[in-house]
Structure 1
Amino acid sequence: MKRKKICMVVQDRMVKGGIAAVINGYRGSELETNYNILYVESYKDGGRLTKLLKGIWGYLHFAKVLLIDKPELIHIHSSFGPSFYRKIPFIYMASWAKRPVINHCHGADFNNFYLNASDKKKRLVEKIYNKCSIIIALSEEWKARLSKIVSSEKVVVIENYSIIQENSLAERLTRKCNKQILFLGEIGHRKGGYDIPEVVEKLAKSLPDVKFIIGGSGDIQQITKLLKSKKVEGNVVFPGWVRSEEKDRLLRESDIFFLPSYNEGMPMSILDAMGYGLPIVSTNVGGIPKIVMNDCNGYLCNPGDNEGFAEAIRYILTDKSKRKRMGKASMKIVIDSYSLEAHISKLEAVYEKYLTIEHHN
């Protein structure tokens, strides 16, 4: 049987961040076996000219795909901020071609994007989102938020997924605790980067050999200054943005994954860490409480509760049985509910719904 064509508007596969991580999991997966996925890349990291040229090429490529390849369905991955504006031409072109659009929304800061926006911007967001056939939200909480823009019937929840590494958990259960805490993500205010120095300071008082690995890019210089002012710079390593073998090694070597975010959807970094059997210390925002439960597979605190973060990390590092229990719980949660296979199955159900409508039209 001939595979149906789906055009997926994506980032360059080397882009930093969770959206690219989600999309890269699709490449070579069962999704490509079941459908003819036509990837159109609309964004890549780099300077303004690099981004501009990539964007222009993305629009031209998309026009060619619509006119010549004639996909039955368009699946766009978007966020808030500049990503929203970059996707507007794709949504208009798909609308002109009378193709259903799935807008897979990975955004995190809803207040700035919509609630606190000007009336003009709110009208634009509403107009663009209502041109889409369906909006994919990363959690029930995000469905409730996005339902302020479009009717709730147009919003479906498909959570992110984890690639499961069962041998990593087995290794961690038999080895000695390294007292290593891992953070992966954009290093800045939104993900709580500026709170990390105080957490390190509080923790180092009772565990002087504790080690934080802060993997990612962003405000490293500013945060290093804060660490130096607290005399704990020796407890922190900044390896830069980590991928592939280095990321795998750090996830295996670490004892806790730490993400003190202020805004999130359903962070791939936490799901990745849970797939390696890591206990999690994070915040009760976005979809995180759905995957991290207090005293089950980790601890959740309010954003900015640095005392709470330090205590939670200390509890886990100093209690071997708790580390083992929480690591096993993280692994069980992703095996039961957050596998790539389960994610693709939900995505294909959405595809089939709109492909059936398209076929009848």
Structure 2
Amino acid sequence: MRIIQIIDSLEVGGAEKMAVNYANALSKKIEFSGLIATRKQGLLLEQINNNVDYLFLNKKKQIDFKSIFQLRNYVKNNKVDFIHAHSSSFFIAVLVKLTFFKVKIIWHDHYGISQDLKSRKNLSLKFGSLFFTGIISVNSALKNWAQDYLWCKKVIYLPNFIESNVNLNTEISLKGLDGKRIVCVANLRPQKNHELLINTASIIRNKFPDWTFHLIGKDFEDIHSYELKRKVEDLKLTENVFFYGTINNIPSVLKQSEIAVLPSLSEGLPLALLEYGLYEMPVVAANVGEISKIITSEKTGLIVPSNDLEQFTKAIQKLIEDRIYRKAIGLELNKVIKLNYSEESVIEKYISWFNSLINFTI
């Protein structure tokens, strides 16, 4: 089987990371695994395995004929069976299929605001779905939405998975005291609810002044980012809350931290939570998206109502005060991740599903 992954950029993000994970995992299992970045490269370029065939299109506009035909030639010359298009990259995949109908498209839906799918409308995606052979959804709500809204009958739910053997040379040094760090891995977007985390930090600082909060994720340098940093200054938290921007080596960050948090207002199946579990982190998370399917009891972590400052703060305080409990739930979460969200378990289902589609025509 010959499969390529297509993603708009290789900047650090959930969909981008999963495109790399799939390309790397498949390179060990199938005849040909390729990865195409259409618009922009980024830090994830360092994580692509040597046996993955990589192409950067440097696409300049929405309909870029040079990129379309470059991709078409790549697909044809490498005898690609499936284009696995992640998120908005479905558009160029459809344009290629219109010029080379033999290739099949699988679209991967990574949409992160799964609490409000009723208002999710996308006419270009709906039209494009006429040309999809199949759809992968990262949670059950997205699967139901695809079956109801899009014109493609073959829809499967496959959870995100973690690639555990990534070798990265860049070590990150976090501020604060060893053994007293709380980390949040999430890009600075409103739905990630860093405002709640900063308010929590203000309360925690009064009781546990040595504990610090470390915010890892892309800084879009927009109004939202400005307001978050202004809030840190207004609350006099500049020695307690630190922003790092995009960091490639998340394992290095987690190994230096004691507690991991996700205060999000909305999520799908967050890759950060899987990374937390892989590195045995005790977790406090908001009860959104698929998080409660991973943290099913207080034996594997603490989940609290979304945007509840009091409960979120109490949960973090509980972990600060009980080191033995922290260790125990980190180990239990690690078992859950390895059993259900490992590369091997997901890729086995993925390849089996693709085999069932190899002779399917739209």
Q: Contact 1:44/1:54 (CA < 8 Å) preserved in 2?
A: no
Alpha-carbon distance, 1:72 to partner: 1.7
Q: Determine the structure 2 residue equivalent to 1:76.
A: 85
Where do 4+ consecutive residues of structure 1 move more than 6 Å? none
The DSSP-based 3-state class of the residue aligned with 1:278 is coil
2: distance between equivalents of 1:347 and 1:309? Answer: 36
Instruction: Select 2:255's aligned residue among 252, 255, 261.
Output: 252
Which residues in structure 2 correspond to 1:2-41 (within 5 Å)?
A: 4-13=1-10, 15-41=11-37
Q: Contact 1:215/1:239 (CA < 8 Å) preserved in 2?
A: yes
The aligned amino acid for 1:162 is: I
Instruction: Select 2:243's aligned residue among 233, 238, 246.
Output: 238
Does residue 107 (structure 1) correspond to residue 116 (structure 2)? The answer is: no
Does residue 223 (structure 1) correspond to residue 228 (structure 2)? The answer is: yes
1: distance between equivalents of 2:90 and 2:194? Answer: 29
2: distance between equivalents of 1:279 and 1:205? Answer: 22
Q: Contact 1:164/1:331 (CA < 8 Å) preserved in 2?
A: no
Which residues in structure 2 correspond to 1:2-151 (within 5 Å)?
A: 4-13=1-10, 15-44=11-40, 52=60, 56=64, 58-78=67-87, 83=88, 86-96=89-99, 97-110=101-114, 115-116=118-119, 122-150=122-150
The aligned amino acid for 2:107 is: N
Q: Determine the structure 2 residue equivalent to 1:172.
A: none
Q: Determine the structure 1 residue equivalent to 2:274.
A: 271
The aligned amino acid for 2:202 is: E
2: distance between equivalents of 1:186 and 1:110? Answer: 17
2: distance between equivalents of 1:69 and 1:321? Answer: 54
Alpha-carbon distance, 1:54 to partner: 10
1: distance between equivalents of 2:303 and 2:217? Answer: 22
Alpha-carbon distance, 1:292 to partner: 1.8
1: distance between equivalents of 2:358 and 2:152? Answer: 21
The DSSP-based 3-state class of the residue aligned with 1:62 is helix
The DSSP-based 3-state class of the residue aligned with 1:52 is coil
Count of aligned pairs between the two proteins: 330
Alpha-carbon distance, 1:335 to partner: 1.4
Q: Contact 1:259/1:281 (CA < 8 Å) preserved in 2?
A: yes
Q: Determine the structure 1 residue equivalent to 2:162.
A: 162
Q: Determine the structure 2 residue equivalent to 1:170.
A: none
The DSSP-based 3-state class of the residue aligned with 1:162 is coil
Q: Contact 1:8/1:40 (CA < 8 Å) preserved in 2?
A: yes
Q: Determine the structure 2 residue equivalent to 1:171.
A: none
Instruction: Specify every segment of 5 or more residues in structure 2 that has no aligned partner in the other structure, as ranges.
Output: 43-57, 166-176
Which residues in structure 2 correspond to 1:273-288 (within 5 Å)?
A: 273-288=276-291
Q: Contact 2:162/2:343 (CA < 8 Å) preserved in 1?
A: yes
| Alignment root-mean-square deviation, CA | 2.7
Alpha-carbon distance, 1:316 to partner: 1.1
Q: Contact 1:9/1:39 (CA < 8 Å) preserved in 2?
A: yes
1: distance between equivalents of 2:23 and 2:125? Answer: 30
2: distance between equivalents of 1:53 and 1:116? Answer: 27
Q: Contact 1:77/1:106 (CA < 8 Å) preserved in 2?
A: yes
TM-score, scaled relative to structure 2: 0.82
TM-score, scaled relative to structure 1: 0.82
The DSSP-based 3-state class of the residue aligned with 1:293 is coil
Alpha-carbon distance, 1:51 to partner: 6.2
1: distance between equivalents of 2:214 and 2:63? Answer: 34
The one-character-per-residue Cα deviations of 1:27-51 (angstroms, maximum 9, x if unpaired) are 44354442312322213269xxx76
The aligned amino acid for 2:258 is: D
The DSSP-based 3-state class of the residue aligned with 2:243 is strand
The DSSP-based 3-state class of the residue aligned with 1:239 is strand
The one-character-per-residue Cα deviations of 1:92-145 (angstroms, maximum 9, x if unpaired) are 432551432110111113577x6325xxx5544322224312110112232223
Instruction: Specify every segment of 5 or more residues in structure 1 that has no aligned partner in the other structure, as ranges.
Output: 166-175
Alpha-carbon distance, 1:12 to partner: 4.2
The one-character-per-residue Cα deviations of 1:214-269 (angstroms, maximum 9, x if unpaired) are 0112244321211121222211111221113xx22211111111111122121111
The one-character-per-residue Cα deviations of 1:297-321 (angstroms, maximum 9, x if unpaired) are 2111222112211111111111122
Residues 322/152 of structure 1: CA separation in 2 closer, same or farther (3 Å cut): farther
Deviates more, 1:284-293 or 1:321-330: 284-293
1: distance between equivalents of 2:91 and 2:12? Answer: 22
